[in-house]
């Protein structure tokens, strides 16, 4: 039986807010992460599906996401909206925070979080449309590198990847 529990995971002020959904299927606990955070604003590549308004992108925060996985007992991750990153040359990923001149990959307490600055690493973009791809091996090498980069920093396997707006646009690994 499949259970879905929606949770709002307050991401730090560094990367914005993101929705995390925990999916429980048999003995697996799957954390659902949106690989970007959208805010109304003005990025050149992402637009609202209903309104058509431009969105600003917030980048994936590995530190906050890893902490969320640890708290929930996650076994697997479902990664969503990877298709909207296809227009970027380089994709920033928050891999650590700098707090008082010291780098950390441990999610800090609230007082420290208010002083934290994101440390970003950049992964090459793939500059193409991913919709319609149904096998992981068929993804561009740069898209696979992005997924594996995030997966390595989280320490949890990314077993599902959403690559389009349709329900069936999911790649299983």
Q: What percent of the chain has pLDDT over 70?
A: 67
DSSP 8-state code for residue 116: -
* pLDDT category of residue 90 using cuts at 50, 70 and 90: very high
What does residue 61 show for φ and ψ, rounded to 5 degrees? -110, 100
| The pLDDT of residue 60 | 87
6-40 pLDDT tens trace: 333 334 444 443 444 445 555 666 676 666 544 43
Task: Tell me the HSE value of 23 on the side-chain side, using a 13 A CA sphere.
Answer: 14
Instruction: For residue range 31-45, list pLDDT tens digits in order.
Output: 766 665 444 344 555
Superfamily grouping for domain 2-172: Adenylosuccinate Synthetase, subunit A, domain 3 (3.90.170.10)
What is the value of pTM for the model shown?
0.76
Count CB-CB contacts under 10 A for residue 113.
Answer: 16
The confidence score (pLDDT) of residue 5 equals 36
């Amino acid at each position: 039986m499949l259970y879905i529990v929606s949770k709002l995971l307050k991401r730090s002020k560094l990367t914005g807010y993101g929705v995390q959904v925990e999916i429980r299927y048999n003995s697996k606990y799957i954390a659902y992460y949106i690989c970007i955070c959208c805010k109304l604003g003005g990025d050149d590549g992402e637009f609202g599906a209903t309104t058509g308004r431009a969105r600003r992108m917030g980048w994936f925060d590995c530190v906050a996401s890893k902490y969320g996985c640890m708290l929930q007992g996650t076994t697997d991750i479902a990664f969503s909206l990877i298709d909207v990153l296809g227009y970027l040359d380089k994709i920033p990923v928050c891999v650590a925070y700098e707090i008082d001149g010291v780098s950390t990959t441990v999610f800090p307490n609230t007082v420290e979080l208010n002083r934290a600055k994101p440390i970003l690493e950049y992964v090459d973009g793939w500059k193409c449309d991913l919709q319609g791809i149904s096998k992981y091996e068929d993804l561009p090498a740069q898209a696979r590198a992005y997924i594996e980069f995030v997966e390595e920093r989280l320490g949890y396997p990314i077993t599902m990847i959403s690559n389009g707006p349709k329900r069936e646009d999911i790649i299983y690994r």
